[in-house]
Structure 1
């Protein structure tokens, strides 16, 4: 049970001074837990990391510990003054993208994504209120899942944030869902391929960079060629109303004015109506995770990296990021998979089916 934890701690000690993924590392506590863990538990001895200083108290972390997994540390989250919440402040300094140190890893689950991408841990917890799991997963080239809003307990009173997980592959995320759900769930029925799907590069409002759109479109074409998805033909592209003001209004809570709250409710309801209509005939909605590539540490400028993710925090749908490829300058790009509310287990299985056809090695 101790070997896996020792390997994780060795990699953290060797790689973290450069990547700055961890805020704290619990070396001795992890070793002691690994020595004493019940070997009969399903996740006995599996090292994992938790998001931020309060991550060990999260519902998901406690369920993983109960299954025998060993927390080895807390990962970096944005520090004071990081308005865009796009990089973490680790114990050694600013968290950097493992592919390009001059770029952000995304946030706010920044350190969790970097720790998984660098192989320091096989799994890290996250939380996602606007894209905080999916964006760093996309920009660090790993798998990230935002669960259906309300599926797992969350301290976020607005209801926008839900628990999530980051792993090297979708298959590795199965263990997370297996052990954090309240009760054992029946195994999902085998997937009938191809899966009916709809693709949108911009959801009708986002200013997606042409190269990012091209990388994701090529990934979708590989899914079609592999028989994983079948794109539903429709002369009218699928669109949503831009959720920006609605998300900001909901996040503002009581501080939001009545007129703004009314507009937000209208946008939210209309987008839910459109998504319900889409999922009446499709299994998946496919989009880029972000409209932009990883930006520099100074911030994204006027771009909203959340433009294609936060609609699903408002609607509550589960969504995942699968590595789609790289831009010419070596930046990872993510493909977002969105499914029906409550279809989290099935979404992970669909992501597993997609990964082998989608993932491309770094150029």
Structure 2
């Protein structure tokens, strides 16, 4: 919640920090301050937030947040022209940097949203996720990210792959988002231990050993704390061909059968196990020149095809200081249960203030 002094400080911080971070496309100080008096009488009471990209202010989620008293302070960077990998952002001051490692990308395409939240400039920002575009930057910037169940919220994506999402300083902040945008949302506090399965690679991805080790270490901590009880695993077919076919609108029988087979496997899995745990990405944040031959989306885009809700919770760091994300996936429509599980996981890994100290590390 913000009064005029607090909102001015948010805007001053953006003006000061963003010349190096380059997370914003545009900032709206006059509009934000003008919205505050009316917003302060509504449930969010002037909570500042950022929106993804030049059209983000027109999104369903942004309109619902504003109606609840949120104050949009600016639009965040997305990839510029000629960036087929969609893993970096172009802001008003140049290419967006990762707050933890300026020589690395923040991920994308919700690049600026993740970077702005990680740097503490806003508590939450809207995003959208068609292949991992919320979860990947959340993982690489060390913040919380949620992709909602496909079709749960309006999306302009004709392929049906993209779903609305949020980048937030914590799962609790993300709950503010869901409470505003999802009619009938009710907080879910799960019974412990959570029944879950862990897969380091979904049966096909070439996950970097150190990335897998960081995530496996986080999962072991959750087991030791009595938060999760693991059983079984999950292997899928590599969804790359099916994703590209769906995105291009030219789905042929081999790709259709691949997608259908993965759906069968996922339906069978979630019929017996409510939660799947994996790394968010098989790789760590790459340099601004790109990831080379690696698909940073290898562990995320299966759930854009299947429609399942999925989240990224900070899991730890590689030895070179790069954040790593733990992906949580739940059954379709179980967004509230997924967020409840994420809150518990986050608290177990980072403590009751989770993950405030961890998120704000880049700013010292």
**Do they superpose with TM above 0.5?**
yes
For structure 1, the 5+ residue unaligned runs are: none
Q: 1:166, 1:293 → 2: CA distance?
A: 19
Q: 1:343, 1:40 → 2: CA distance?
A: 32
**2:276 is aligned with 1:280:** no
Alignment-derived partner of residue 204 in structure 1: 203
Pairwise CA distance, 1:185: 3.1
Pairwise CA distance, 1:270: 1.0
**2:28 is aligned with 1:26:** yes
Match of 1:247 among 243, 246, 264: 243
Alignment-derived partner of residue 296 in structure 2: 305
Corresponding pairs, count: 352
Q: 1:184, 1:337 → 2: CA distance?
A: 23
The TM-score normalised by the length of structure 1 is 0.95
Pairwise CA distance, 1:4: 3.0
Pairwise CA distance, 1:207: 0.3
SS at match of 1:280: helix
Alignment-derived partner of residue 121 in structure 1: 122
Q: 2:124, 2:225 → 1: CA distance?
A: 28
Aligned pairs for 1:222-241 (under 5 A) are 222-232=221-231, 234=232, 237-241=233-237
Q: 1:7, 1:191 → 2: CA distance?
A: 37
Contact 1:4–1:45 (CA under 8 A) maintained in structure 2 = no
SS at match of 1:64: helix
Alignment-derived partner of residue 320 in structure 2: 329
Alignment-derived partner of residue 82 in structure 1: 83
The TM-score normalised by the length of structure 2 is 0.94
Pairwise CA distance, 1:3: 2.8
- 1:315-349 deviation digits (Å, cap 9, x = unpaired): 00000000000000000000000001001111111
Q: 2:174, 2:43 → 1: CA distance?
A: 14
SS at match of 1:14: helix
Alignment-derived partner of residue 271 in structure 1: 262
Aligned pairs for 1:213-224 (under 5 A) are 213-224=212-223
Contact 1:4–1:47 (CA under 8 A) maintained in structure 2 = no
**2:112 is aligned with 1:111:** yes
**2:256 is aligned with 1:261:** no
Alignment-derived partner of residue 171 in structure 1: 172
SS at match of 1:290: coil
Q: 2:4, 2:282 → 1: CA distance?
A: 42
Distance verdict in 2 for CA 1:261–1:175, change over 3 Å: same
Alignment-derived partner of residue 15 in structure 2: 13
- 1:179-235 deviation digits (Å, cap 9, x = unpaired): 101x223443x3110011000000000000000000000000011111111001x4x
Q: 2:5, 2:345 → 1: CA distance?
A: 32
- 1:85-130 deviation digits (Å, cap 9, x = unpaired): 1111100000000000000000000000000000100010000000
SS at match of 1:37: helix
For structure 2, the 5+ residue unaligned runs are: none
Contact 2:39–2:68 (CA under 8 A) maintained in structure 1 = no
- 1:126-149 deviation digits (Å, cap 9, x = unpaired): 000000000000000000000000
